[in-house]
Each structure stands twice: as structure tokens, then as C-alpha cells.
Structure 1
Amino acid sequence: MAPIPSHSAKGDYPWWLVALVAIALALAGVIVANDIYAQVFGVVLKGLWVTIFVTLVGFALATMLGLGVALLGLSDHVALRQVARFYIEVIRGVPVLVLLFYIAFVGAPAFVALANLALSPLVAAGAVEPVQVRDVSLMWRAIIALMIGYSAFIAEVFRAGIQSVDKGQIEAAKALGLSRYQRFRLVVLPQAIRVILPPLGNDFVAMVKDSSLVSVLGVADITQMGKVYASGSFRFFETYSIVAYVYLILTIGLSLALRALEKRLRKGFER
């Protein structure tokens, strides 16, 4: 009996993308033609750069911290591995919103108290002014919270990617006399990046969405600008439709860009 032909996922035409583009163009036409939607779009767009800044800086810091935690977790020392595992399990168990409140209203005052304690001789001499809690920007409190919250997940991504590299190649690199840093940079990382990149990209897209949580601190991002406009105009449907529209453009655009980058890197590795 001849096999039944099937359509693989690889060969499927992306009709979902066609539908999304059609919807996006239709909504763009509504925004251009309708004064209310155009006004809402203009207000919401004022928070776009804040959202982009919070996401880029928060993700860059989370990636660096996550890589450091992952390397601790892969250390030869048991104590360092246990510290890394403790950090990962605790941070992953706390919701990002709760972590945001904790860093903003508990961590920031504690940091200010420690800073004032360290600067107390200079404060007593009148050389510097004591630090106030209000001096710590709410936006930076939010960025630090996102950094800490995502670093635990990114650490697991790096750990899985590094452990996916065949141990035989690492042993061969040792035999060639490469140092630990050289083995990581020249042998481990180039191969691990193929495993790391897809989930790392997913975390980046997720942070774009979770950056909306900074609005609870009054940071003027996309969500906060929409919230302020809706509460003053009572145009809730129009406002939150535009907010969702902007986030969808950001996240779907990023997903497509990351998918194209993955394909390009995969072709590069196969050569």
C-alpha cells in the first residue's frame, strides 16, 4: 500500500502570518481614518521607548547574571553549585510582579540604608548628602527586578546548552593544552549557542510582555500611558485595543526576526 502523503510542518504555508498581517493593516487603516484611535495611538506610542529601554537593558543584565549563575552551577566546587541552585530555585519560585514590588519597596530602601551606612563618615563631615530612597529611580528598580527574575531562567538555558556539548570534545581541548577560558570560548560556546539561542529568544520576547508590569510602579511605558489615558477619557475599549495591537507588533516582529536569525545561524553551522 502506498503511503498516505502528509504535509510536514516545514512545508506548511504560513497562513497565520498572512492573517495577522491583514489584521494589522486593517487596524492601521482604522487608526489613520479614526481620530479617536489616532489620538490613543499617539498617546500610547509615547511609552514605546521606555518599554524598549527597560526590555533591552533588563535582558542584557539578566543574560550576564544568568551566565554567571550557570557557570557557578557548573563549577567543580560543591558549595558554589549549591549556591547557584539555591538562587535559581528561589527566584524561579517568586512571581515577577511580587519580585517587582519587593525590589521596589523593600530592596531599594535596604540598599539606601546600606549606602548611607557606608557613607556615614563622609555625611558626618558634610562632604556628601545622605542618599534618599526617592533618589533611586522607579524605572531602575523595575529593571533590576526584571534582571533578577529572568536571570534564573536564563541560567538554566545556559546550563542546558553548555551541558549539551559532547564531553569528548572538551577532553580533546584539554589534551591540546587549552585553558578553561579558551575551552569555553573556542569549543563549548560556539556549539552551545545552537541550543541556547531559541529559548533565549523566547525569554526575550517574554520580557517584552512582562515589561508591562513596570506600569504598576508608575513607569511611563506603553501600558502606563494607556492606563492614564483610559482612566481620564473612559475610552477603555479603544485604548486597550491599541495597547494590545502595539505589543503584538513588537512580539510577533521579534519572533519572526529571531526565527530568521536561527535559520541563518543553523545554515552557518552546517557549512
Structure 2
Amino acid sequence: MIKAIRLGIRQILYEDMAFWRNPVAAFFTFVFPLMFLFIINLTFGKNVIERPQGALNLSDFYVPMIIAFSVINSSYTGLAMNLTISRDRGILKRIRGTPLPAFSFLFGKIAHNTLISALLVVIVTGIGSFLFDVSLPTKTALSFLTTLLLGTATFSCLGVAVTTLIPNADAAPAVVNASILPLLFVSDVFIPMDQAPSWLNMVANVFPVRSFSIALQDAFNPLVGSAGFNVTSIFIMSAWLLTGLFTAIKFFSWEPRK
């Protein structure tokens, strides 16, 4: 087990090197969320939104949602597409034939995405604090970190799991985007859903995107008097984490589809 972890750490270093040598991947992972952050906050940041605890600037609402989008984009979208392309090119099959344990390979992939997500969170939080006067989640730091780790793990496992539904690399963008974009629009990520139909909110509540976004909003909300833990959101994300993990272990394919 110790050897597998050591090899997994080396895999993290390899993944990091490969990531930064691909400027297109780095651009869409970092610049895309930051572009949304600036456009939305410069346009709507000074507007006010009503929450159960009181009125908030929209900046306090959008910064945690951009963090949610950044983590999902890196952990789910990026990981699913990367694995599918590697599978179709026969890279996964060749890796499976090496002494590198499957655990070490997937550990390296998921851990690297976690580190990239953490870097994105630091950048987005820093910009939100310095440029848009967003309160840092100091008194809710524990719930903030717990939500981030659980969310990253959940969407990473789901990213691996969704590759079982993708027939080939050409279909990857369509399948991945079709499975995540509608949820981003109905889960308090791009649009506040306070005025949405109740049935739409009920549907969104079933999926982990809404839970992740709401839990981050609670952690960033300066009017929240408690530690900021959203038990319902944590339960829903945990259920999806176990579902994704089971699917990935049971059905993940190392060989190109016929």
C-alpha cells in the first residue's frame, strides 16, 4: 500500500507536468471561471439579493458559485474528457499493462484535480475579497473546507463514472456537457433560483450540484450565525459520492470501446 501511494504521488507530478504543458487545458480550467467571475460581479455585484438571514450583495452570492463552477469544471468535466481521450488513444490500456497499480493511476489523476481545484479556490476567493469586498469564510472555515473536499471527491468520482456512458472521445463533449450544463443553470450556480418554479427546485435538489453550491453559499454568507454546516447538502453529496465510486469501480473501462 505504501508503494502504491508513493507511485500515486509520482503520478501527481506527472499529471501536473502534462497539465501545464497543455496551454489550452490550463486556459479553460483557469481563465474561463475567472472570466465569469469578473463579468458577473462587475455587472451585477452591487445589486442586492434577499436571503432568509437578510440582504446580501450579489458578489457574496456569485463568488461561492464561481468556486462551485471551477471545482466542477476541473473535477468532473476535465477529468471525464481526459480519461475518455486517454482510453480511446489506448493510453489507459498500455498503462494497465505496466506495473503501475490502477489505484496509483486514479489516485494521481484525482489528487491532481483536487490540487488544481484548490488553487482555483484560492485565486477566486482572493479576487473576490480584494476586488469585490466579499467576506472571507473565517468563522465557517471548517464547513468551507469540508464542503470543498467532499465536493471535489464527489465530482471526481462522478467524472470517472460518467466515462462508462461515453462511447468514444468524439462523443465526450456532448455527453459530459449534456449531463452537467442543465444542472449548472438550475442549481444556483449561474442564476439565483429563488423565483424558479417549485418543481424545478425539487428536481435540482436531488443532484449534487445544487447541494455543493448551497453549502458553499452558506459557508460564505456573513449573516450565518452557526458554523455553516449544511447537513442536508453534505448527505446528498455523500450519497452521490458513493454512487459514483461504486459505478467507477464496477464499470470503468481501460480499453477503447468497440
Q: Do the structures match in fold with TM over 0.5? A: no
**Where on the TM-score scale, by shorter chain, does this alignment land: which range?**
0.3 to 0.5
Compute the TM-score of the two structures, normalised by the length of structure 1: 0.32
- The normalised TM-score by structure 2 is 0.33
Which structure: greater helix fraction?
A: 1
Rg larger in structure: 1
